[in-house]
Structure 1
């Protein structure tokens, strides 16, 4: 195991997650403060996911020609430019362009161009029996720092109340901080040695031998991603703001605890997968979480809605490290970067349309239809995943059954 490389990847994952954690909550309020409505917020969220998906797809197709470090440095610079762009621009159409070409993430998970590159580096650096545990640690760091970022989203409210500072100015400064974090990530990526590209067990290659299974997984993940786009964190926050008139402080606290529960569920997922296998862990934790998601809008009080969101968060993300590990396990080692990208793209492309639809639904009703639709689509995905992926068991699942 290359511990030095893993530490660097974990540092950058944590920093980016912290930035995503506060931006995803602050984004809808910032856009509304600029005079935009729920539908325009949804369009901006759609643009961010669509742009990330296209960039990630390009990385998957061509990353094998370049050093991963060079691509990560370019992504970090793009993150810096995105933060500065959102801080400086206040009109809808220019912001839409920045959202489409930038790295802004309206969801609680990582859907950026960084993801396939970091996954490939991790897979190069660990043995098969260590892979799921390392991905769980990677996801744990991201979720914990994203939870802290959600708390940090309350800074504008605090400064407005205690120091009577202009809220929009504070939000713009937080976007500048997002850009600075991108530069820090770039500095860390600079220390990734060139020789990492040569020490991997296989040289990166385009997708060939593993094409069939990767395309099947991409189709399945696209359904899950389309459903997930209805409940990206920015839009769930917007629903809570509308239905229960929550402050950013209260919403940030809620998403802090959902993030903490999700974070520690990653460690539990690694243990469960050792007992029942990766595929069963993905499905039998995700399915009850999606049933709870369907029930959230029907709750009569804020307390009940929060309770279901918290329980769901303890279950819904266990498939994240196991899914990443599964993809890396069932493809050829030299095709892992391409596979990580092609299976990650649906989490941006397929989910790109649904935030716009969710924004429209929230503009005409505060009931929470996006949550119901998302839960229903994800339940269908779980059942399809169970029947399909059992035909392609990873080595770990074979040893588990024996």
Structure 2
């Protein structure tokens, strides 16, 4: 329960900061209209500012790591033969499905620009509002999980997003796409802090770093595939193919999550790792 709250708070703070960052979309049009910048030069300036903020983050990461007590290792290092290997394999499979489906949202600016002619300022406004909604979902997730249990909450939140995926192709305007986008995100964000929290509770204590590395590798591999697949579908099949595929994959994602972990038991603060 404490881990749910920690991930929820961390996610909410991160998303609120991300919301402020989404307002950067208003800067290129302003530079072009008020200061005579070209489109290319205005985006280069934004990228330089973004790089400066990224570099400014590094000392804070260092201070956070220095101030946290480091647990002693067991001397075994990275290994594939884990006691929690079933849990790692299941989550790796789930993260791959999630990222392949979610690749559509990496192409979302291209999608709305091609379909409705939307520019970066309108997208910045949408992302700004949606991030606040997403932060709210992260904040309430621990309370929902306390009532329903993490497994049911995650599965239900993921499953309820499926209809919204399928609404994108029939949306008649950018306004409707924005409403669908925000509603889908508000529901899906409830699962965001609960997934890693649930994952870590199923692991043996001395295997968490290795398990996280393995699932991250699986997620990264699928992240390489998903934009290319989405772009291919948009160019060669239909502009609407990726959201339809995403809806189908999220249905598989939600049902698979429940089926794979239904025998692990609900985790009301107890150690369920022996079932892994």
Structure 2 length-normalised TM:
0.89
Rounded Cα–Cα distance in structure 2 between residues aligned with 1:194 and 1:203: 21
After the TM superposition, list the runs of 4 or more consecutive aligned residues in structure 1 that deviate by more than 6 angstroms: none
Shift of 1:364: 4.4
Report the counterpart of residue 134 of structure 1 in structure 2: 6
Contact residue 96 and residue 218 of structure 2 kept, 8 A: yes
Match of 2:88 among 214, 225, 242: 214
> Is residue 2:216 matched to residue 1:348?
no
Rounded Cα–Cα distance in structure 1 between residues aligned with 2:66 and 2:182: 43
Report the counterpart of residue 260 of structure 1 in structure 2: 132
What is the DSSP-based 3-state SS (H/G/I as helix, E as strand, rest coil) of the residue aligned with 1:319?
A: coil
Point out where structure 2 has 5 or more consecutive residues left out of the alignment.
272-276
Match of 2:100 among 222, 226, 244: 226
Shift of 1:230: 2.7
Shift of 1:281: 1.1
> Is residue 2:23 matched to residue 1:155?
no
Structure 1 length-normalised TM:
0.62
Point out where structure 1 has 5 or more consecutive residues left out of the alignment.
1-128
- Change in Cα spacing, 1:206 to 1:364, as seen in structure 2 (3 Å) is closer
What is the DSSP-based 3-state SS (H/G/I as helix, E as strand, rest coil) of the residue aligned with 2:161?
A: helix
Report the counterpart of residue 390 of structure 1 in structure 2: 262
What is the DSSP-based 3-state SS (H/G/I as helix, E as strand, rest coil) of the residue aligned with 1:230?
A: helix
- Change in Cα spacing, 1:202 to 1:321, as seen in structure 2 (3 Å) is farther
Rounded Cα–Cα distance in structure 2 between residues aligned with 1:215 and 1:244: 41
Rounded Cα–Cα distance in structure 1 between residues aligned with 2:260 and 2:40: 48
The equivalences for 1:250-289 within 5 A come to 250-289=122-161
* More RCO (CA 8 Å, sep 6+): 2
Q: For each residue in 1:259-317, what CA deviation from the matched residue of structure 2 results, as whole angstroms up to 9, or x when unmatched?
A: 11111101111110111111111110111112211221112233222221111111112
Aligned length: 268
Contact residue 25 and residue 123 of structure 2 kept, 8 A: no
Contact residue 92 and residue 219 of structure 2 kept, 8 A: no
Contact residue 221 and residue 346 of structure 1 kept, 8 A: yes
Q: For each residue in 1:373-399, what CA deviation from the matched residue of structure 2 results, as whole angstroms up to 9, or x when unmatched?
A: 111111111101111112223632769
What is the DSSP-based 3-state SS (H/G/I as helix, E as strand, rest coil) of the residue aligned with 1:191?
A: helix
> Is residue 2:273 matched to residue 1:379?
no
Match of 2:47 among 165, 168, 175: 175
Report the counterpart of residue 92 of structure 1 in structure 2: none
Shift of 1:134: 0.6
- Change in Cα spacing, 1:182 to 1:394, as seen in structure 2 (3 Å) is farther
Shift of 1:192: 3.5
Shift of 1:220: 2.0
The equivalences for 1:2-401 within 5 A come to 129-192=1-64, 194=66, 196-198=68-70, 200=71, 206=78, 208-232=82-106, 235-364=107-236, 367-393=239-265, 395-396=267-268
Contact residue 230 and residue 371 of structure 1 kept, 8 A: yes
- The RMSD of aligned alpha carbons is 2.2
- Change in Cα spacing, 1:365 to 1:220, as seen in structure 2 (3 Å) is closer
Rounded Cα–Cα distance in structure 2 between residues aligned with 1:323 and 1:294: 24
Q: For each residue in 1:23-47, what CA deviation from the matched residue of structure 2 results, as whole angstroms up to 9, or x when unmatched?
A: xxxxxxxxxxxxxxxxxxxxxxxxx
